[in-house]
Structure formats: structure tokens, C-alpha cells
Amino acid sequence: MSNTSSTYLAFKISDHLFGVNVDRVMEISEYRAPKPIPESPSYVLGVVEFREHVVPQIDTAQKFNMPPIDITAMTCMVVLELQNLDLAKKFRVAILVDSVSDVFEATEDNTVPFTDDFHPQYLTASYKTNHGMVMILDADKVFSIKDVIALDKLVRS
């Protein structure tokens, strides 16, 4: 039995609940319209300013192959600081989510790992809450090396 626990931010995209480790979360804020960037991937809506930096704004639903997020009064931007280990590069993104629901603690004992043949590599486990099943993300694996290079190029241009 493992006593190691981690704290996660739970958020909703469409009818799905996801959780990301709070260590990756820099800020949660209300939606801000991005400045569009020509020739960017469909899931990149543009860029926004964050603490004197320019970060790409990601339609998380499109990134996860779901219909685009409808912007409502509940739509939030969650700014994440991620790391691509293959490139030894840290980068920031502002992901759009339909809403933020809560913060929860989970241990290996109360999560159920996904089997290797069933899920994208960025989904690690599921956790049952009062609001439903939360799919826990390994946020560092959401963006491939190709994605990170493209995002870096967009921000620099």
C-alpha cells in the first residue's frame, strides 16, 4: 500500500472530468480572447499575455479530439508550466476548460491505472469523486516533441 498522495485540479471539458497535478498549475483565470496566429495548429487559438510572457492558448477539447469548447461565462484559462523531458525544455500554455470544479488529493491506492492498450499516453489513471470519474493527466505528455517545437516557434514569431 502506498501513502504517497498528490493534489490535483479537476476541470471539465465537454462531459468529461480531468485532473492535472497542481504542481503544474501556475494560474486559473477567466477567459481572455487570444491574438490569432496564422498557420497554427487547429487546437491553438492564438496567444495571450501571462506575466509579461506570451503563451499559446489551447482549445483543450480540440487537442483531445473533441468538438471545440463553447466560450461561456464559466470558461476558464488554466496556465500550466510543462516540461518536455526529451527536449529538456520547460514551456507554458494556457489551456481552455469549460469549468474548474475542485481540488482533490489522490493516492496510488485510490486511483485505477489505465491499461497500456486502452488510452493515450497522457492519461495515467482514473479517480472517482462525488462529481464522477476524473481522468488524471500526465500534463507533460499531452504535447509531443513536434507539438512543443511548433508551439515554441509560434511564440517566438
Per-residue pLDDT at 86: 79
Count of structural domains within the chain:
1
Instruction: Extract the C-alpha cell encoding 32.
Output: 481572455
β-pairing verdict for 112-113 and 123-129: antiparallel
CATH of the domain at 11: 2.40.50.180
Per-residue pLDDT at 1: 44
Per-residue pLDDT at 119: 67
Strands annotated E in the chain = 5-13, 16-21, 25-30, 44-50, 53-59, 76-84, 89-97, 99-107, 112-113, 123-129, 132-137
Per-residue pLDDT at 112: 84
Q: Round to whole Å and give the CA distance between 40 and 16.
A: 26
pLDDT digit of tens for each residue in the chain (157 aa)? 456 889 999 999 999 999 999 999 999 999 999 999 888 899 999 999 998 889 999 999 999 999 999 999 999 999 999 988 777 888 999 999 999 988 999 888 888 887 777 667 888 888 988 778 899 999 988 888 888 888 888 777 6
Q: What is the pTM of this model?
A: 0.89
Q: Half-sphere exposure (CA, 13 Å, Cβ side) for 50?
A: 27
Range of the domain at 147: 5-156
Per-residue pLDDT at 95: 96
